Structure 1
Amino acid sequence: MYKYLVAFLIIFLIHVSAKAGEIDTLHVKQVDLEEVVVRSFKQNKSFRNTPISVSSISNLNIQRKNITDIKDFSATIPNLFLPDYGSKLTSPVYIRGIGSKTNAPGVGLYVDGVPYFERATFDFDFNDVDRIDVLRGPQGTLYGKNSLGGIINVYTKSPFKYVGTNINLSAGNYGNIQAAMSHYGNVNQVFGYSVSANYRHTNGYFTNVNPDPTASDKVDKANSASERIRLSWRITPRLDLHLVSNIDYSMQGGYPYAPYDEQGNWGPINYNDYSSYERFMSTNGFTVDYKGEHFFLNSQTSYQYFDDSQRIDQDFTPASIYFTNQTQKQHMFSEEVNVKSPGNTMYKWLFGLFASFQKINREVAMNYMQKDSITDKFYKVPAFNLAFYHQSTFDDLLVDHLSLSAGIRYDIEQVRTRFNFYSDAHDRVSTTMDEKRSRTFSQITPKISLQYNFTPERMIYGTVTKGYNAGGFNTSFLLNEDPAFDPESSWNYEAGAKLAFLNNRIRTEISLFYIDWKNQQVTQVIPGLGNRINNAGKSTSKGVEASLQSEPFRNFNLQISYGFTHATFKEYNKTDKISYAGNYLPYVPSHTFSAHGDYTIDMHSSFLRRLILSAQYTGAGRIYWNEANTASQSYYGVLNGKVSFVTHRFVTFDVWIKNATDTTYDAYYFESGGLKLAQRGKPLTFGANLALNF
């Protein structure tokens, strides 16, 4: 049935595009909407004319939507969902139902070309961000690891594009304070430099009622700070060098989990041991860009280090039952080289090589206080990855305006683990274990797409792509279990269109997708130990995505997006007697919806230049929280707003509000040791910003 819908969509879009051509004769002002951006290096064409479902958000829209971190993007983009987990340790990202909250992410993140492979690195404060691209659907052919669901590319500001000094101060209720400074400069557009720093504090939103003075404060209070240095050289008109170095530190309390009953009522947060999460992260990237007459070359060398510590009252009760302390250290090196055609010919090509080494040392110490038992586990998990890939694009194939793009990638990855276990029980009988294991995975991931351009601004496309995530080893498992889990793979079938009307005053995108998913890596909770990965049999995800961007009249911008996902297990036997076949996948909203509008009022004043009114509504749901589908969050919506006063000189003053209707909803839910626990979404918050631009 779904294949017939895809075929119908293509026929319908051809008809609509042909009719739309009649509008071209009207004398309408050409409009270039703000969120349209240029291509990335791996794309031979602009995103506007590429057979990929992609959403791009510019720096201006980041400001007007008051986006301060990656979780603020949840539901603002079709079928993108980021549950607000209790700490930065885990930042699950789901696109079209694909994601992971325990193992390596199912959605990849790159910042200035540097890959963020570990889930504990995803949640960072946004500062000096120029634009963000979200590519939906498997991107394994060009990006490989962790791109089964899609890719998020974050680009920071270039000193060749921005010049000057910016100071931003923000304050709000619940003790929300943020201060940021950045400076950009260049010498004759040959040598550019920038430095930025950011500090953020919150008193927290939720209180632990436990009388223990170490745990009675706000459980989610947090402090974070970061700095970034960027140096850019234009050695010659053809050769550019870029060096980016970033340091990020955060310290937060945790976790705001409260007992939760079947009627959807929260109990008080009440546990006796103070919990926290602390992280230090350093990310560095060196980029070489060379534009020759016959080829372009891009080289990206990167290194990322992080060191974190999680302390958690694992039982979340006033009793002293479990307490766990987990520490991690990661070293990640990567090198990627791309060579592609200049892009001005009918045949375009790209070759790439990627190599990485990632090593994580993890220690998990659990104190089982009721039995006077202590267990200490040590894990060393090195992983080696090597990939070769190619993509060719043929324009005007057979007939004018018809393009064919085909790509293929070969990945090989070796994952090793060394596991040391020590247990000391109350009877002083100790247990030790020392194991070494290794697994090697390899996969070929092809992609083929066909697109037809009616005009430079109107095209339809169809794409077939294979997605893949390697297997690995669990760091939480029972001693009589095999800690390994298998790879997962998917085939993604997609048809869509990108259309513009009224000389680009209105732009729309629509796509249908169907994902056939095998050996899905699912998360299971082991009480007192944590989470482990298991493989389900088969799953499917199908849905639709649509977006509209327009300027219906002068100074008013409107953006609307909608996503529908129907993601279910086809085959999944939890035990011999329990089957979840037909159940919805957890953490996947059936609907995501976003509507944003901003209106600029030109002021005829010697002091005030512009008044900008912005409002945004985002909604998501229904969301099932477990594989059994016994707990869920119905559809809910959050309303945000912002008013900006822009002066004639260098001052901008904003007042903002988030969750203006104080909507109550579940942001996260899980079950552990017979307990049902949930985290509420953030309540109504408001504040003001002051920006100075010199």
Structure 2
Amino acid sequence: MKVYAFLGALVFPSYLLAAVTVPDSTSRKSVMLDEVVVTSYKEKKTLREVPASISSISLGDLNKKNLVDFKELSSYIPNLFLPDYGSKLTSPIYIRGIGSKLTPSVGLYVDGIPFFDKSVFDFDMNEVNRVEVLRGPQGTLYGRNTMGGIINVYTKNPLDYQGLTYKQMVGNYGQTQFSGSYYGKLSDRVGYAVSSRYKHNDGFFVNAYTGSEADNLNQISSKGKIQWKTESGWDGVFSVNYEYTDQGGYPYGLLDNTTGQIGDVNYNAYSSYRQGVLTSGLSMSYSFDDFVLKSVTGYQNLDDRQAIDQDFTAEAKAFVIQTQKQNQFSQELEMRSKDGKRFTWLNGLFGFYQTGKRMVLYTTQKDYDEPSYGLAAYHQSTLKDFLLKKLSLTVGARFDYEKAKQDYIVWKLSADQKEQTTRLNDSESFTQFTPKVSLQYQFDASNMIYATTTRGYKTGGFNISFSTEDERTYSPEYSWNYEVGGRFSAFNNRLYGDLALFYIDWRNQQISHAVANKTGSMLTNAGKSYSKGVELSLNARPADMLNLQFTYGYTEAKFREYLYGDADYSGNYIPYVPQQTLMLGGDYTWNLSARYVDRLIFSAQYTATGRHYWNDSNDVRQGFYGILNGKLSAVKRNLTVDLWIKNAASKEYMAYFFQTSGKYFAQKGKPLTFGTTISFTL
């Protein structure tokens, strides 16, 4: 009967809300904790018990480090790199050298809802409670396109946070933000939240041709959430988010590769990107006597338009318009055993259906209809006290099936009509088995070592730009990931950290190239590649009011065998992969209890990105560079005033590079910015 009730609640979620009849309670203020105790990892283990390389940034750390945009996470986490493409159209993510400019190699989940498309990765970070980064292939539990890892983002829980918050930020370059949120309760077990944010900047780079900023931004986002927890064992959350962005972009200048100098932005036509994204999700679980049954339903709609001066010169050569409309549906059913047993297990089913329509308008019009769907089944189990006490064995397996279609039409355009010249219609199917084996020895609650072997997989697909028929498709890529690591603590947990070493054997790597004699990029497959390295994270509290953090990542990622046309790139470094990432930071709190100030909090971070190459031939590179950020917060009861600065030393660096029509173009990194933020809570 309980199973039928669960299935009925999937169809009629209002059944759950009507069943909740718990007396009201008084609201209480939220409490921020710096240390994350429980992870969202599907086995529901504590962070220090998971046999994988994981980093977590709590709400307190996000505030102290003033991380308000998704791309600002780059280099704060070992071996995580997020280059700045110049607009939200694409947000490539690289972990341990694995990533792609065109199709995601790292998975992103927000409140358990998968984000599949690169165009939605740079999402609004307002009301985020915690960010987790799981490095290494996560395909066994998370599925498609998680070759490099998974980023899990969780927004605030209205059962834990109550009250009204208003926040306002002003800064140089016309930076302005207004945000407000309200968290309330209908009862002890039902909470709700609404929030909204408006964000603007005038732009950081001037287009010399037009005399105005090239990369101005206007963005508005709104979120709503209702969360409930019943005495009978039902838990659930329903959320809906909408974000609209209207921005200029692509502040690229001509690169002199001899001197490394990047010229001014100088193109004749204003380039822009507009995007609307609607995301909603329903997550419900029911706790039976021996297991927990969970359902996660997600929907996402993307509607965008890119207009770009694709020759990036003062001449009117190539102005391209691209639009896309996508609808994505996903459903996951998961059954897992209760915690605290010697043998624990997890079974799951996952399915998705995605529709996608694109239009590219240049000298011709190209229309793409790209529906796809996929199904997967997975299992993972853990046996504790395996052969030895405190030794655990984890095995997992997943089977994925995916089918992708593409209907491609080319229209010849004239003054008064268009004529169809090409039509291609094709489909491809992909299947893959991804196993995982892990051994873990848990000395105590805070100290452990582990060894893991995991299969990585990324699906193939269709290019939207190509010159010849054989370039229209690309094949899946595969990897084997070998990792050893551990977590440790000392001095009564005043010092704790983790260390991991990894080696990735990579086959059929998907590499992006400029299309010969045309605009746009496409994917092809390299032969063999590898990536190896180390990751270290340290957290220390030498005094009660002083916190220190240090993270370091080293990656060597190279092509073993890679021939493309007449070129042989074997032995070269894989592009977009920093050899090092580093973060050294800390914060100190003064409890003053003065008339106008209760406490002062000072925080500062130095983040560094190591040498990396921008193309397969390794003739364009960015050397090691570091960025210094800082923030001073004054708190008086419910009022907080922040003074912050980013790139305090005005470090110049190359944030992005590409090649088109035989020329090199690059984007400079963001200049020194500063401002103040005022927030008030009730």
Query: Per-residue CA shift, 1:318-353, capped at 9, x if unaligned?
Result: 111111000000000000011101111000000000
Please give the secondary structure, in 2, of the residue aligned with 1:414.
strand
**1:597 paired to 2:555:** no
Question: What is the Cα deviation at residue 359 of structure 1?
Answer: 1.0
CA distance in 1, matches of 2:158, 2:409: 48
- 1:480 shift after superposition: 4.4
CA contact (8 A) 1:36 1:48 kept: no
CA separation of 1:681 and 1:46: change in aligned 2, threshold 3 A? same
Question: Normalised by the size of structure 1, how large is the TM-score?
Answer: 0.92
Deviation at 1:237, TM superposition (A): 4.2
Measure the CA separation in 2 of the matches of 1:190 and 1:612.
34
2:549 matched to which residue of 1?
559
Instruction: Tell me which amino acid in the other structure corresponds to 2:406.
Output: T
Larger mean CA deviation between 635-644 and 285-294 belongs to: 285-294
One-letter amino acid matched to 1:533: L
| Amino acid corresponding to residue 324 of structure 1 in structure 2 | V
Structure 1 residue 266: deviation in Å?
1.4
Instruction: Indicate yes or no: 2:537 matched with 1:544.
Output: no
Counterpart in the other structure of 1:128: 127
Contact between 2:205 and 2:213, CA under 8 Å: does it hold in 1? yes
The answer as to 2:78 corresponding to 1:78 is yes
C-alpha distance in 2, partners of 1:193/1:34? Answer: 24
Aligned counterparts of 2:538 and 2:574: Cα–Cα separation in 1: 28
TM-score w.r.t. the length of structure 2 is 0.93
How much identity, in percent, do the aligned residues show?
Answer: 48
Match of 2:244 among 249, 253, 263: 249
Within 5 Å, give how 1:362-441 maps onto structure 2: 362-366=358-362, 374-424=363-413, 432-441=421-430
Query: The residue matched to 1:360 in structure 2 has which SS?
Result: strand
Is 2:656 the partner of 1:661? no
**2:188 corresponds to 1:200:** no
Name the amino acid aligned to 1:691: S
- CA gap of 1:480–1:487, structure 2 versus 1, over 3 A, is closer
Query: Which runs of structure 2 are paired with 1:255-404 in the superposition (5 Å)?
Result: 255-262=250-257, 263-366=259-362, 374-404=363-393
Q: Name the structure 2 match of 1:16.
A: none
| 2:173 aligned with 1:152 | no
Q: Secondary structure at the match of 1:267?
A: strand
Counterpart among 558, 561, 569 of residue 571 in structure 1: 561
In 1: Cα distance, 2:48 partner to 2:295 partner: 25
Is the 8 Å Cα contact of residues 179 and 198 (structure 1) preserved in structure 2?
yes
Whole-angstrom CA distance in 1 between matches of 2:375 and 2:107? 17
Shift in Å, 1:488: 0.3
- Residues 146-168 of structure 1, C-alpha deviations (whole Å, 9 max, x = no match): 21100000000011010101101
Q: Distance in 2 between matches of 1:479 and 1:585?
A: 25
Deviation at 1:216, TM superposition (A): 3.1
User: 2:478 aligns to what?
Assistant: 489
Match of 2:12 in 1: none
Aligned position for 1:4: none
**Structure 2 residue aligned with 1:227:** 222
CA deviation string 1:155-193 (max 9, x = no partner): 000110101011010000000001110110113322110
**Residue in 2 that maps onto 1:457:** 446
In 2, Cα distance between equivalents of 1:55 and 1:35: 12
Task: Measure the CA separation in 1 of the matches of 2:409 and 2:256.
Answer: 38
The SS at the match of 1:359 is strand
Q: Distance in 1 between matches of 2:626 and 2:41?
A: 36
Correspondence for 2:161: 162
Seen in structure 2, the aligned counterparts of structure 1 residues 304 and 352 have a Cα distance that, compared at 3 Å, is same
Partner of 1:369: none
Q: How does 1:468-507 map to 2 (within 5 A)?
A: 468-507=457-496
Structure 2 letter corresponding to 1:249:
Y
Q: Does the 8 A contact of 1:521 with 1:535 survive in 2?
A: yes
Between the aligned partners of 1:430 and 1:646, the Cα distance in structure 2 is 66
2:14 corresponds in structure 1 to: none
Does the Cα contact within 8 Å between 2:244 and 2:276 map onto a contact in 1?
yes
TM superposition shift of 1:34: 1.9
Deviations 1:58-90 (A, max 9, x none): 111001101111100001000000001110000
SS in 2 for 1:504: coil
Q: 1:238 maps to what in 2?
A: 233
SS class of match (2:396): strand
1:640 matched residue in structure 2 = 629
CA positional deviation for 1:693: 0.7
Give the stretch that moved more between structures: 295-304 or 35-44. 35-44
2:114 is paired with a residue whose SS is: strand
By how many angstroms is 1:46 displaced? Answer: 1.2
Shift of 1:40: 1.4
Q: Give the CA RMSD over aligned residues.
A: 1.5
Deviations 1:502-553 (A, max 9, x none): 1211111001000000000000012542110100001000000001011011
Q: Which moved more, 1:386-395 or 1:265-274?
A: 265-274
> 1:633–1:666: 8 Å Cα contact kept in structure 2?
yes
SS at the partner of 1:236? coil
Could you tell me which residue of structure 1 aligns to residue 88 of structure 2? 88
C-alpha separation between the residues in 2 aligned to 1:569 and 1:650?
Answer: 55
Residue 47 of structure 1 deviates from its aligned partner by 1.8
User: Contact 2:329/2:352 (CA < 8 Å) preserved in 1?
Assistant: yes
State whether residues 38 and 44 of structure 2, in contact with CA within 8 Å, keep that contact through their aligned partners in structure 1. Answer: no
Report if aligned partners of 1:37, 1:56 keep a CA contact under 8 Å in 2.
no
Q: What corresponds to 1:11 in structure 2? A: none
1:584 Cα offset (Å): 0.3
Distance 1:237 1:693, change over 3 A: farther
The answer to whether the Cα contact below 8 Å between 2:575 and 2:613 also exists between their aligned partners in 1 is yes
- Aligned positions, number: 649
Supply the distance in 2 between the matched residues of 1:194 and 1:201 (Cα, whole angstroms).
24
Q: How much has 1:496 moved relative to structure 2?
A: 0.3
**For 1:221 and 1:436, how far apart are their aligned partners in 2?**
39
Report what 1:97 is aligned to. 97
Structure 1: where are the runs of 5+ without partners? 1-31, 367-373
Q: Give the 3-state SS of the residue equivalent to 1:594 in structure 2.
A: strand
C-alpha displacement of 1:455: 1.6
* Partner Cα separation in structure 2 for residue 430 and residue 604 of structure 1: 76
Aligned to 1:530: 520
Query: 1:580 aligned to 2:576?
Result: no
Q: Structure 2 matches for 1:603-682, cutoff 5 A?
A: 603-647=592-636, 649-682=637-670
CA-to-partner distance for each residue in 1:18-37, whole Å, 9 max, x for gaps? xxxxxxxxxxxxxx982323
Contact 1:199 1:224 in 2 (8 A): yes
Residue 61 of structure 2 aligns to a residue whose secondary structure is helix
Matched, 1:683 2:671: yes
Give deviations 1:609-639, integer Å, cap 9, x for gaps.
Answer: 1100000010002010000000000000000
Displacement, 1:429? 11
Bigger mean CA offset, 229-238 vs 461-470: 229-238
Check the 8 A contact 2:33/2:58 in 1, yes or no: no
* Deviation, structure 1 residue 574: 1.1
The yes-or-no answer on 1:118 pairing with 2:106 is no
Per the alignment, in what secondary structure is the counterpart of residue 348 of structure 1?
strand
**Equivalent in the alignment of 1:371:** none
**Distance in 2, Cα, partners of 1:485 & 1:388:** 25
Partner of 1:10: none
Which SS does the other structure have where 1:608 is aligned? coil
| Partner of residue 8, structure 2 | none
Whole-angstrom distance in 2 between the partners of 1:293 and 1:686: 55
- Could you say which residue in structure 1 is the equivalent of 2:43? 43
CA-CA distance at 1:424 after TM superposition: 4.1
Tell me the alpha carbon deviations over residues 587-627 of structure 1, each in whole angstroms, 9 at most, x when there is no partner: 00000000110000010313311100000010002010000
Q: Distance in 2 between the 1:399 and 1:289 partners?
A: 34
C-alpha contact (below 8 Å) 2:407/2:424 kept by paired residues: yes
